[in-house]
Homo-oligomer: A and B are copies of this chain.
């Protein structure tokens, strides 16, 4: 039994949904179908989720929502019409949206969640209707009925293992199950959404709970590439990689998969395959527990911009037990997570994602570090990028750091930071943002266009 998840572009139009139906019918083991909200049909198109956010914002402001509501309904109506479905399904969707608009607005976050989640929920109803229409035995299942339990507020939304037993029963349900991605319910019945891109998590959770033989994640690319194809010309496709590799790549800027989405599948050892809805015969990229990494110690190279460095210098810092801890505590109190902390004898740098900083927070952090820690010198620099080499073979490949650093040197660029030594599958270089693309190309050439032999 397989769980298939179809992303936004895969279910953006009638034409795409027909492809989905073909894919599902081509393999009888494709039983659970998790769907996103309709995504973009062309690059300037609007995602239904974005339309829903505008709708919710309008409603929360107490303004008239007719126009925004109609825009959402129109998208479904167009799909339904082109799929030859009766207007019944559009009426069901319209009624659902009107009910959600009337929802209690006291908690704006929950109100927003509820409207956003309708994108996936109504698309699942529509797709189930289409499957039935073409003669498939298919049922829309609501995550509430199925038992997709999530944590209560104010905790970060995460699935609760308590729901697994009920979700496992989806196996026994006759026919195809069409399941909306992106949201679950707390024990007391409150709808909460996963982070955006969270349909991947829903698919992964269901694959894990039903102990599927495979979790197929359908998107709009043939496979995951070894480097960003908008920077590197025709990067090679990755045919197989491990969960850890995928997680490192996703965290460091690969946009195919959401960072945490794989974990439920990973924990139950369900293999994952990333495939293309528009080219389902392509083998795709398999994500598995282990791979033979002797030939390719590096599987991919990720790059991500938007990092800042907080530099702190204080004479005899290294003898002051607790200095590093107190520095991190200030950041914690300012609610700033950190990525890396390279250190010297008298100085320490903290690498932070710039999105967590504001001018106000920056000024306050600098002031606090100066005053509370008596630092001699404190400053914040932005516009750093992190380039991450990922591969299970890295730990044991002698000379890999040398090859990487040499490739960067050949690109004529200085390395600002190197972090190696904890993760077994990644090697991180901090560089100036302006050098990012040049380095990515140089590293790609070194690890994917040359022989893998140590120079």
Q: Are B422 and A311 in contact (CB under 8 A)?
A: yes
Residues of B within 8 A of A403 (CB): 409
Q: Give the dominant DSSP class at A's interface.
A: mixed
Give the shortest distance, in Å, between A317 (CB) and chain B (any CB): 10
Contact of A251 among B318, B325, B338, B423 (CB under 8 A): B318
Q: Are A342 and B402 in contact (CB under 8 A)?
A: no
Bound-complex Cα distance A347 to B341 (A): 13
Q: Which of A393-413 contact B (CB under 8 A)?
A: 395-399, 401-406, 408-410, 412-413
Q: Are A321 and B337 in contact (CB under 8 A)?
A: yes
Give the shortest distance, in Å, between A155 (CB) and chain B (any CB): 12
Give the shortest distance, in Å, between A406 (CB) and chain B (any CB): 4
Contact of A338 among B156, B324, B337, B395 (CB under 8 A): B324
Q: Are B347 and A423 in contact (CB under 8 A)?
A: yes
Contact of A348 among B318, B405, B420, B422 (CB under 8 A): B422
Taking A321-B337, A324-B341, A332-B321 as contacts, is the C-beta distance between A415 and B420 under 8 angstroms? yes
Q: Are B416 and A418 in contact (CB under 8 A)?
A: no
Contact of A422 among B156, B343, B422 (CB under 8 A): B343
A26 CB-CB contact with B under 8 Å: no
Bound-complex Cα distance A409 to B454 (A): 9
Bound-complex Cα distance A399 to B316 (A): 30
Nearest chain B residue, comparing its CB with the CB of A349: B422
Q: Are A413 and B398 in contact (CB under 8 A)?
A: yes
A328 CB-CB contact with B under 8 Å: yes
Nearest chain B residue, comparing its CB with the CB of A417: B421
Q: Are A343 and B341 in contact (CB under 8 A)?
A: yes
Q: Are A343 and B340 in contact (CB under 8 A)?
A: yes
A247 CB-CB contact with B under 8 Å: yes
Q: Which of A235-289 contact B (CB under 8 A)?
A: 247-248, 251, 260, 263
Q: Are B409 and A345 in contact (CB under 8 A)?
A: no
Q: Are B399 and A406 in contact (CB under 8 A)?
A: yes
Bound-complex Cα distance A409 to B315 (A): 34
Contact of A416 among B309, B416, B421 (CB under 8 A): B421
Bound-complex Cα distance A115 to B344 (A): 36
Bound-complex Cα distance A45 to B328 (A): 49
A322 CB-CB contact with B under 8 Å: yes
Q: Which 5 A-B pairs have the closest CB atoms?
A: A344-B423, A417-B421, A399-B409, A342-B421, A402-B405
- Extra pairs beyond A325-B325, A342-B421, A344-B423 (16, CB < 8 Å): A156-B319, A248-B344, A311-B422, A321-B335, A322-B328, A325-B331, A340-B342, A342-B422, A398-B409, A399-B409, A399-B410, A402-B409, A409-B454, A415-B420, A418-B419, A419-B419
Could you give 9 example pairs across A and B, Cβ below 8 Å? A251-B318, A251-B345, A318-B339, A325-B325, A349-B422, A402-B408, A409-B454, A415-B420, A416-B421
